[in-house]
C-alpha cells in the first residue's frame, strides 16, 4: 500500500514538473516567436506593406520617444507595439509631458502627441501616431545626409535667428525638429545658391532684390531648384512684379479683409482659412490657418510653361481692400470680392503637343516657345504667419512645415491611406423579417418554456 502511494505521489510530482516545463517552454517560444492574426475586414491592426518593408530593413536600433496625453496613451502604445512586432530594433518609450516637462522641453515638444525619432545623430519629430507620419519619421532619420534649407537674408527679410515678435526663430526651430539643416544665406555676397540646397526660402524682402539676386534665384529655379517665396502688401512693387514674370503669379497689392475673423473674435485683417483646394501640400490637412495682413495672389490662367494650383483661399465672405488709404474698412466700389488666393503651388507644365502635319505636306516648323522650368515653388501672399507671434496659431506651423516638406521630399516618403471601417448594414427582406420575428419572439420563448417545464416536473417527481 505504501509503495503504491509512493508511486502515485512520484507520478503526480513528475507530471507537475513536466506540465510546468511544458508551460515554460511554450511561454518562451511565444515570447521569442510572437505570432499575430488580424481578422478584421479592413486589416485595421496591421501595417501597410511599405511600412513593413522599412521596418524589416532597419540598419540598427531606432529610439522612439512618444509624448501623448494621458487619454491617448493607450492608442500610442498599441500602434508602437505593432511597429515593434515587425522589428525588435524599433525601441520605444512613452513619456507623459505633464509629469515630465523637463523631457518635453529637452526634445522641443510643442503639442501633445508628438513622437521623436533618433538614429545615431539624426533626429526627427512626427506630429502624431498615424502610420504615415511614423513611417516617414523612420525614413527621415535613416537618411544618410540632412537636407539643407537656406533662408535668404540681407534685403530686409524676416530675421532667421530672431525670437522677438517679428522674427522667425520659432519657424526655424520647427524645421530643425524635422531634421532639416537651416542656414541663412546672404545672396548679395555669394551671388549663387549653394549646390547642397534642398530648398530656398525668401521671406518677404522689404527692399528690392538686386539684379544679380533675381538672376541667381531664377537660375536655381529653372535648373530644378525649390523655392518658397513670401510677399506682403508692403513688399516692393518690383519684387511682386518679378513673381508675375518668373512664376506667372501676380501680386497686384491690397489687403485681404475677412469679416469671419471678426465673428471669431479676431481682427478683420487676419483672414482665417479652414478649407483648402485640392493640392499636394494640404492633403489630409484639417487645421485652420491665420494670415495677419495678407495680400492676394492672382495665378495666370493662360500660363503654359507651369502648372498653378491654389493651396490656400480665404473665405467666401472675404474681400480685397484695394484703396489702402481709405479709413473705411467696409467693402467699397473698386474692392474685389473673395475668396482670395493666399498661396499657390507652382510645378513644371506640360509641353504642348507637336501639330499634326496635313497629308502630303511636310511638317510645319515647331514654333519657338519659352523653356519649361524644371523647379517647383510655393508662393505665399503673407509672411506674418511664420513669425513668432503667429506661427503658434492653430495650423500655421504645420502648413509651413508641410510646404517645406513638399518642396524637399526626395520621392522616398510614403503616403498611406487611413483605414476606415466599411458600412455594411444588414437589410432583411420581407420573408427574412417574418422568420426572424417568429424565431425570436415565438419559437425561442416556447423552447425555453418547454425545457424549463420539463426540468421542473422531473425534479418535482423526485
Instruction: Judge if 399 and 316 occupy the same domain.
Output: yes
Q: Mark which of 128, 144, 160 sits at the end of a domain.
A: 144
pLDDT of residue 413: 55
Pairwise CA distance, residues 221 & 242, whole Å: 13
Pairwise CA distance, residues 131 & 79, whole Å: 8
Report in angstroms the alpha-carbon separations of 373 from 242, 249, 305: 15, 14, 7
pLDDT of residue 385: 97
Find where cell 484639417 sits. Answer: 286
Pairwise CA distance, residues 284 & 211, whole Å: 40
Instruction: Judge if 213 and 114 occupy the same domain.
Output: no
Confidence of residue 36 (pLDDT cuts 50, 70, 90): low
Q: Mark which of 125, 144, 163 sits at the end of a domain.
A: 144
In a domain, 129, yes or no: yes
Instruction: Judge if 189 and 131 occupy the same domain.
Output: no
This prediction has a pTM of 0.71
In a domain, 436, yes or no: no
The answer to whether residue 89 scores a pLDDT higher than 90 is yes
In a domain, 186, yes or no: yes
What confidence tens digit (pLDDT) does each residue in 155-186 have? Answer: 899 999 999 999 999 999 989 888 889 999 99
**Percent of the chain with pLDDT strictly greater than 90:** 51
Instruction: Judge if 190 and 162 occupy the same domain.
Output: yes
Q: Lowest-pLDDT range, 193-202, 247-256, 389-398, 417-426?
A: 417-426
In a domain, 425, yes or no: no
pLDDT of residue 2: 67
In a domain, 460, yes or no: no
Q: Mark which of 129, 144, 159 sits at the end of a domain.
A: 144
The kind and range of the H/E element at 52 are helix 49-56
Instruction: Judge if 345 and 272 occupy the same domain.
Output: yes
Q: Are residues 313 and 277 in contact, defined by beta-carbon separation less than 8 angstroms?
A: yes
In a domain, 368, yes or no: no
- Region 439-452 average pLDDT: 88
pLDDT of residue 34: 58
Pairwise CA distance, residues 171 & 149, whole Å: 12
- First-to-last C-alpha distance (Å) of the chain: 41
Instruction: Judge if 323 and 289 occupy the same domain.
Output: yes
Instruction: Judge if 184 and 74 occupy the same domain.
Output: no
Instruction: Judge if 244 and 221 occupy the same domain.
Output: yes
Instruction: Judge if 257 and 294 occupy the same domain.
Output: yes
- Region 120-136 average pLDDT: 87
Q: Strand locations in 249-408, DSSP E?
A: 249-250, 255-257, 272-273, 289-290, 298-299, 306-313, 319-321, 336-337, 341-348, 376-380
In a domain, 344, yes or no: yes
Query: Total structural domains in the chain?
Result: 2
Instruction: Judge if 118 and 154 occupy the same domain.
Output: no
Report in angstroms the alpha-carbon separations of 10 from 3, 13, 16, 36, 213: 10, 5, 10, 39, 93
Q: Which residues of 372-411 are buried (b: 16+ CB within 10 A; e: fewer)?
A: ebebbbbbbbbbbbbbbebbebebbbbbbbbbbbbbbeee
pLDDT of residue 353: 59
Confidence of residue 424 (pLDDT cuts 50, 70, 90): low
What confidence tens digit (pLDDT) does each residue in 188-226 have? Answer: 899 999 999 999 999 999 999 999 999 999 999 999 999
Q: Please give the residue that has the higher pLDDT: either 56 or 146.
A: 56
Instruction: Judge if 299 and 240 occupy the same domain.
Output: yes
Q: Lowest-pLDDT range, 22-26, 127-131, 161-165, 381-385?
A: 22-26
Report in angstroms the alpha-carbon separations of 319 from 189, 260, 263, 342: 40, 11, 15, 12
Pairwise CA distance, residues 129 & 66, whole Å: 9
In a domain, 363, yes or no: no
CATH of the domain at 103: 3.40.30.10
Confidence of residue 411 (pLDDT cuts 50, 70, 90): very low
**In terms of residue numbers, what domain contains 131?**
19-35+43-144
**Percent of the chain with pLDDT strictly greater than 70:** 86
Pairwise CA distance, residues 152 & 22, whole Å: 69
- Dihedral of CA 65/70/72/78: which sign? positive
- Candidates 125, 132, 227, 140; CA nearest to 174 is 125
Confidence of residue 291 (pLDDT cuts 50, 70, 90): very high
Find where cell 510572437 sits. Answer: 34
Pairwise CA distance, residues 193 & 185, whole Å: 8
Instruction: Judge if 248 and 386 occupy the same domain.
Output: yes
CATH of the domain at 342: 3.40.50
CB-based burial label for 59 (10 Å; 0-12, 13-18, 19+): exposed
Amino acid at each position: 500500500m505504501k509503495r503504491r502511494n509512493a508511486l502515485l505521489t512520484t507520478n503526480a510530482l513528475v507530471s507537475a514538473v513536466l506540465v510546468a516545463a511544458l508551460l515554460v517552454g511554450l511561454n518562451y517560444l511565444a515570447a521569442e516567436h510572437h505570432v499575430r492574426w488580424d481578422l478584421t475586414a479592413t486589416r485595421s491592426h496591421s501595417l501597410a506593406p511599405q511600412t513593413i518593408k522599412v521596418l524589416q530593413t532597419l540598419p540598427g536600433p531606432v529610439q522612439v520617444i512618444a509624448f501623448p496625453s494621458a487619454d491617448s496613451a493607450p492608442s500610442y502604445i498599441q500602434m508602437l507595439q505593432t511597429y515593434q512586432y515587425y522589428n525588435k530594433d524599433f525601441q520605444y518609450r512613452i513619456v507623459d509631458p505633464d509629469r515630465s516637462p523637463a523631457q518635453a522641453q529637452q526634445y522641443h515638444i510643442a503639442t501633445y502627441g508628438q513622437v521623436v525619432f533618433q538614429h545615431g545623430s539624426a533626429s526627427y519629430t512626427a506630429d502624431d501616431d498615424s502610420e504615415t507620419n511614423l513611417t516617414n519619421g523612420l525614413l527621415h532619420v535613416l537618411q544618410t545626409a540632412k537636407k539643407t534649407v537656406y533662408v535668404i537674408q540681407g534685403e530686409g527679410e524676416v530675421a532667421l535667428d530672431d525670437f522677438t515678435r517679428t522674427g522667425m526663430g520659432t519657424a526655424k526651430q520647427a524645421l530643425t525638429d524635422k531634421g532639416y539643416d537651416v542656414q541663412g544665406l546672404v545672396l548679395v555676397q555669394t551671388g549663387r545658391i549653394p549646390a547642397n540646397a534642398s530648398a530656398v526660402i525668401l521671406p518677404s524682402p522689404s527692399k528690392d532684390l538686386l539684379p544679380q539676386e533675381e538672376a541667381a534665384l531664377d537660375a536655381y529655379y529653372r535648373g530644378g531648384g525649390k523655392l518658397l517665396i513670401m510677399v506682403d502688401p508692403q513688399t516692393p512693387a518690383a519684387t511682386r512684379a518679378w513673381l508675375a514674370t518668373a512664376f506667372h503669379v501676380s501680386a497686384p497689392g491690397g489687403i485681404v479683409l475677412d469679416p469671419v475673423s471678426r465673428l471669431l473674435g479676431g481682427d478683420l485683417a487676419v483672414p482665417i482659412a479652414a478649407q483648402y483646394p485640392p493640392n499636394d501640400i494640404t492633403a489630409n490637412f484639417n487645421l485652420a490657418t491665420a494670415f495677419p495682413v495678407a495680400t492676394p495672389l492672382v495665378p495666370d490662367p493662360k500660363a503654359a510653361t507651369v502648372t498653378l494650383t491654389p493651396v490656400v483661399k480665404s473665405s467666401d465672405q472675404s474681400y480685397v481692400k484695394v484703396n489702402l488709404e481709405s479709413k473705411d474698412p467696409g467693402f467699397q466700389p473698386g474692392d474685389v470680392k473673395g475668396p482670395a488666393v493666399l498661396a499657390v503651388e507652382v510645378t513644371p507644365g506640360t509641353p504642348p503637343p507637336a501639330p499634326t502635319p496635313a497629308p502630303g505636306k511636310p511638317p510645319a516648323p515647331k514654333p519657338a516657345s519659352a523653356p519649361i522650368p524644371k523647379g517647383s515653388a510655393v508662393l505665399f501672399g503673407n509672411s506674418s504667419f511664420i513669425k513668432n507671434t503667429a506661427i503658434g496659431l492653430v495650423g500655421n506651423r504645420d502648413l509651413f512645415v508641410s510646404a517645406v516638406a513638399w518642396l524637399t521630399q526626395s520621392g522616398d516618403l510614403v503616403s498611406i491611406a487611413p483605414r476606415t471601417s466599411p458600412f455594411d448594414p444588414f437589410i432583411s427582406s420581407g420573408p427574412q423579417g417574418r422568420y426572424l420575428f417568429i424565431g425570436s419572439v415565438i419559437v425561442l420563448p416556447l423552447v425555453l418554456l418547454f425545457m424549463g417545464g420539463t426540468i421542473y416536473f422531473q425534479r418535482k417527481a423526485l
